């Protein structure tokens, strides 16, 4: 694989969708399968241009279903595989995501969200946050990250691949149109300063092919690729640790699926990331994620500076697994928790459930099809504080 066309360290001026592809290349991704859809088309266009330059493969598929399914085969063939889509296409990828969970196949999907349901519209939205976690059929967990800047589109794509490889799971980069089309400075560090995680393989651990368990042996099983001399039975059925699907029982079903769930949910403190500001002596708090976190921070700073409102700021970087324990440890008793979202209040549900005894009031601040302005957030804060 050629590294001669990888970006040199320095500052660049990029769109968020383009920065995502540069992050994927830095992470070692060399397979992209995709289908164009606004506002994620630039992700695919950048992949079509850049992946061949670094010795990778770009494949335009006939639809989003085949795009996601190709990631499964590419990943088991040893590649770090990627696709990009927007909300209607993300719906079509759910079966492949479910298969990826039960087969513990690492891959990354970039969802540059737009409003829905149906075709919706082509502006900005955050209406896929519940689908990212609960849209696939059956049990099983995965990881979803919410970037808010061009730099984070680069950084979080690398992080997404690291998580996928470390935990053997599909990872969703849950962006939105605003950050996808935003243009800002992107800083590329030296490759040696970028943490890159690769899957652990049985041959590297001295495990013989006859002793290999593709779905057992540890919390996150070692992953052999096809063609390396190890027997790997990759199926979508409930299976034994060796991949066989015979001797089904409810007990086997529980053990198989529970481990795949627990490897993510029991390690939430290792996976989840949050960002906090102004958390000392607060009486109110904004909890936000994605692009609205930019205007939410402006609103918090203005409310504190101009009217002395004792309000704090907390941004969810990792949406799933949901960091309930982290939030409960960090957040003191407050009067009001505000949650701005580009939907009608989806993440309000797990937030309220996690912090039900930490606040007197929970206030949703919705905005449909467009990013919140700081004034919109401030007006809602001041309105509630007058009550």
**pLDDT in single tens digits along all 387 residues of the chain:** 456 688 999 999 999 999 999 999 999 999 999 999 999 999 999 999 999 999 999 999 999 999 999 999 999 999 999 999 999 999 999 999 999 999 999 999 999 999 999 999 999 999 999 999 999 999 999 999 999 999 999 999 999 999 999 999 999 999 999 999 999 999 999 999 999 999 999 999 999 999 999 999 899 999 999 999 998 889 899 999 999 998 889 999 999 999 999 999 999 999 999 999 999 999 999 999 999 999 999 999 999 999 999 999 999 999 999 999 999 999 999 999 999 999 999 999 999 999 999 999 999 999 999 999 999 999 999 999 988
β strands within the chain, DSSP E: 10-15, 31-34, 57-60, 81-85, 107-113, 143-145, 170-176, 183-188, 274-277, 284-288, 311-316, 318-320, 334-341, 359-366
72 and 99 Cβ atoms separated by less than 8 Å: yes
Q: Which of 149, 88, 95 is nearest to 113 (CA)?
A: 88
Query: In the CATH hierarchy, which top-level class contains the domain 10-193?
Result: alpha beta
* Domain range annotation of the chain: 10-193, 202-266, 273-385
Structural fold of domain 273-385: Rossmann fold (3.40.50)
197-200 contact pairs (CB < 8 A, 24+): 197/161, 197/162, 197/163, 197/165, 197/166, 198/28, 198/165, 199/106, 199/165, 199/166, 199/168, 199/223
d(C-alpha 249, C-alpha 220), whole Å: 23
Contact (Cβ atoms closer than 8 angstroms) between residue 167 and residue 143:
yes
Same fold flag, 10-193 and 273-385: yes
């Amino acid at each position: 694989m050629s590294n001669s066309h990888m970006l040199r360290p320095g500052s660049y001026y990029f769109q968020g969708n383009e920065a995502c592809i540069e992050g994927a290349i830095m992470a070692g991704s060399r397979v992209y399968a995709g289908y164009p859809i606004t506002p994620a088309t630039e992700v695919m266009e950048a992949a079509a241009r850049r992946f061949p330059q670094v010795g990778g493969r770009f494949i335009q598929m006939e639809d989003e279903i085949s795009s996601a399914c190709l990631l499964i085969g590419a990943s088991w063939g040893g590649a770090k595989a990627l696709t990009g889509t927007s909300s209607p296409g993300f719906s079509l990828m759910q079966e492949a995501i479910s298969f990826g969970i039960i087969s513990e196949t690492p891959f990354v999907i970039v969802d540059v969200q737009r409003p829905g349901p149906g075709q919706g519209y082509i502006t900005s939205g955050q209406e896929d946050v519940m689908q990212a976690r609960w849209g696939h059929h059956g049990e099983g967990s995965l990881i979803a990250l919410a970037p808010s800047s061009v730099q984070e589109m680069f950084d979080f794509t690398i992080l997404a691949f690291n998580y996928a490889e470390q935990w053997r799971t599909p990872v969703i980069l849950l962006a939105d149109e605003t950050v996808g089309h935003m243009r800002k400075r992107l800083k590329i560090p030296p490759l040696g300063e970028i943490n890159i995680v690769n899957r652990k393989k049985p041959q590297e651990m001295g495990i013989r092919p006859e002793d290999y368990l593709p779905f057992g042996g540890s919390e996150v099983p070692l992953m052999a690729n096809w063609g390396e001399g190890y027997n790997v039975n990759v199926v979508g059925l409930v299976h034994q640790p060796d991949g066989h699907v015979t001797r089904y029982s409810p007990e086997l079903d529980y053990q198989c699926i529970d481990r795949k769930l627990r490897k993510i949910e029991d390690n939430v403190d290792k996976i989840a990331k949050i960002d906090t500001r102004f958390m000392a002596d607060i009486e109110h708090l904004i909890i936000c994620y994605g692009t609205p976190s930019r205007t939410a921070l402006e609103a918090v700073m203005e409310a504190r500076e101009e009217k002395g409102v004792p309000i704090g700021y907390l941004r969810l970087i990792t949406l799933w697994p949901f960091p309930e324990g982290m939030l409960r440890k960090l957040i003191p008793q407050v009067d009001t928790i505000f949650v701005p979202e580009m939907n009608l209040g989806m993440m309000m549900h797990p937030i309220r459930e996690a912090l039900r005894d930490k606040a007197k009031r929970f206030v949703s601040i919705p905005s449909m099809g467009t990013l919140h302005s700081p004034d919109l957030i401030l007006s809602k804060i001041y309105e509630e504080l007058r009550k």
